[in-house]
Amino acid sequence: MAAAAMSASGAIHAATPVGMRGRYLTHVSIVRVNQIEVTPTKNIGLDESVDNRPERIVSRRNAFAEGCPGGKMTWAISWLALKDDRKEYKEARRLLASFHDKYGDEVTFIPGGYFAPMYETRDHVRQTIHDALGQVSTIVGGGYRPQSLVAGFMDAENQRHLAQDEGIHVCQGQIWSQKDIDNGDGDGGICYPYYPSREHYLKPAQGKADFIDCVCLDGWTCDFLSARRDGFKGGFNSRMGVGPIETVQNLGTTAGRKEMMDTTAMHFDSGYALNQFGFVTGIWETSLGHDEDLTYWLQAVRERWPDTKVMTEGEFGLEWRRQTPNNDKLNYRFDAKGTGAPGSEKNLEIQWFMNKEFRLALLHDWEKKTQPMAIDFTRYDLKAEEPQGLQRQWDLMNVLNEKETRPQDQPKRLSELPMEDQRIIFRRYPELRQVG
């Protein structure tokens, strides 16, 4: 079994786990009109209404049920899909309400087509969320209120308002490791649940003064090896993981499904052994189809890891919140070898260390037994600030970043980092002194 860190003698050092235990999977399906509805009055991309028709929605729910009987999923509906008066969208809204009543599914809102902070002011985003949540409650009826918001990216201030003003304490608010792909950048955070800082949505809160009582979740579980890449650099897809676009659609059914399972195993096998906790998640647009791949994936997960709990975003986030009152004990560790898929080199091994103070990634060739090199060291104890204007770059980068987009981002030995950085790392992980 791979370990998060090994001493020179090869002894395994397991993580001190956070309060949550077990394997968890969440699935979100999106219902929309246009491809990327960045504001209530502006959209980018194609009209997808024909691919969001009611029979496609029913097909998606049936595929989920076939793959995971008794499981619950989250539906996120866009602004235009909430407002559209065509009979198809009236029926779509009725269907989502019926899924809540029949299966216990969560129905919520997605603002900005994943990219609200990049295209709209915080005040306007906040008002849109407030209005849309009210409409969702009306559609479902019976005093219903979603437990989470699905947002792609969401700024810290609106996550604070979500908790404080809307009473919602879970937000799918970051797309881990995304950079130079689609319409927004957001590399620099940790891929498992955390409470964000008021300074920056990717920074874990450091204490009571900057604490936001909203559990921030990743939206797509990605292969750790491919995720270290910048966009499509080298001809590879940095978002490859459990999503169908980057796997089945690009690699073919056999190779694509293998990559979906291999990425899941990074969390449910070695990751679970290290953390006693595993979290895998994905957002699949209804318009894209691939329902048969969803069924396959869920069935394969249940067969291989039968203890996996499949639940809604809100249920999962609130369960984590009940067991984890703050970020003080965050200590997520991952050790993953490449899967052999394009961009995930089989001879490479990456180790991730993620906690309240920093995240650190070490990469080496395990076949040649090369020296581990630091490819990312992001400090969270330093001051951070989100963009104030509208722009695509919402990264959090300081010392060293995995994407290698800045001159300073060349891989380094730990001993080549500044002494203050070494002190911070070795204080928390003394065994890494032997890495050199």
Instruction: Identify whether the C-beta of residue 222 lies closer than 8 Å to the C-beta of residue 263.
Output: yes
The CATH number for 179's domain is 3.20.20.510
42: β partners:
39
pLDDT at site 17: 56
Residue where a domain terminates, one of 278, 297, 323: 323
Both 348 and 264 in one domain: the answer is no
- Residue indicated by tokens 């029979």: 55
Whether 114 has a pLDDT exceeding 80, the answer reads: yes
CA distance 280 to 176: 12
Mean pLDDT value of segment 406-419: 96
d(CA 72, CA 65): 9
Whether residue 133 sits in one domain with residue 53: yes
* Distance (Å, whole) CA 67 – CA 156: 35
Residue 128 and residue 205 share a domain: yes
**Distance of alpha carbon 185 from alpha carbon 1, whole angstroms:** 34
Output the CA torsion 116→395→196→127 (10° steps): -20
Cβ neighbours around 36 below 10 Å, total: 20
Residue 15 covered by a domain: no
CA-to-CA separations, 434 to 16, 111, 413, in angstroms, rounded: 20, 47, 11
Residues 59-66: what's their mean pLDDT?
A: 98
pLDDT band for position 8 (cuts 50, 70, 90)? very low
Q: Based on the domain organization, do 410 and 291 belong to the same domain?
A: no
Q: Is the pLDDT assigned to residue 124 strictly greater than 70?
A: yes
For 287-333, write each residue's pLDDT tens digit.
Answer: 999 999 999 999 999 999 999 999 999 999 999 999 999 999 999 99
Q: Is 337 domain-assigned?
A: yes
Q: Mean pLDDT in the chain?
A: 94
Judged against a pLDDT cut of 90, whether residue 13 lies above it is answered with: no
Both 290 and 148 in a single domain?
yes
Residue 288 falls inside a structural domain: yes
* Whether pLDDT at 11 is above 60: no
Same domain, 294 and 185: yes
Q: Is residue 10 one of the residues assigned to a domain?
A: no
Give the whole-angstrom CA distance, residue 251 versus residue 369: 30
Read off φ and ψ for residue 359, nearest 5 degrees. Answer: -125, 145
Question: Could you tell me which residues are beta bridge partners of residue 399?
Answer: none
pLDDT for 19 = 77
In a domain, 8, yes or no: no
311 close to 72: Cβ distance less than 8 angstroms: yes
CATH, residue 412: 3.30.1120.110
- DSSP one-letter code for 281: E
- pLDDT value at residue 16: 55
Identify whether 14 is part of a domain.
no
102 and 176 in a common domain: yes
Residue 391, Cβ neighbours under 10 Å: how many?
Answer: 12
Domain limit, last residue, from 299, 323, 347: 323
pLDDT at 435: 86
**With b meaning 16 or more CB within 10 Å and e meaning fewer, what string describes 344-370?**
bbeebbbbbbbbbbbbbbbbbeeeeee
Query: Does 199 lie in the same domain as 71?
Result: yes
**Structural domain range at position 138:** 23-323
Same domain, residue pair 111 and 71: yes
Q: How many domains does the structure of the chain reveal?
A: 2
The model's pLDDT over 261-279, given as tens digits with 9 standing for 90+, comes to: 999 999 999 999 999 999 9
- Predicted local distance difference test score (pLDDT) of residue 6: 40
- Domain end (from 323, 357, 392): 323
Asked whether residue 1 is assigned to any structural domain, the reply reads no
Q: What's the pLDDT tens digit per position in 368-407? A: 999 999 999 999 999 999 999 999 999 999 999 999 999 9
- The three-state secondary structure class of 7 is coil
Q: Which pLDDT score, from 0 to 100, does residue 407 have?
A: 96
Inter-residue contact 192 to 354 (CB < 8 Å) = yes
Predicted pLDDT at 313: 98
In a domain, 358, yes or no: yes
CA nearest to 387, candidates 69, 109, 22, 120: 120
Average pLDDT over residues 44-59: 94
CB 372: neighbour CB atoms within 10 A? Answer: 22
Same domain for 110 and 149: yes
Which residues lie across from 186 on neighbouring strands? 178
pLDDT of residue 20: 87
In this structure, the answer to whether residues 189 and 301 fall within a common structural domain is: yes
SS (H, E, C) 223-260: CCCHHHCCCCHHHCCCCCECCCCCCHHHHCHHHHHHHH
Shared domain for 266 and 283, answered yes or no, is: yes
Torsion over CA of 237, 238, 241 and 244, rounded to 10 degrees? -40
Position 311: which residue type?
Answer: M
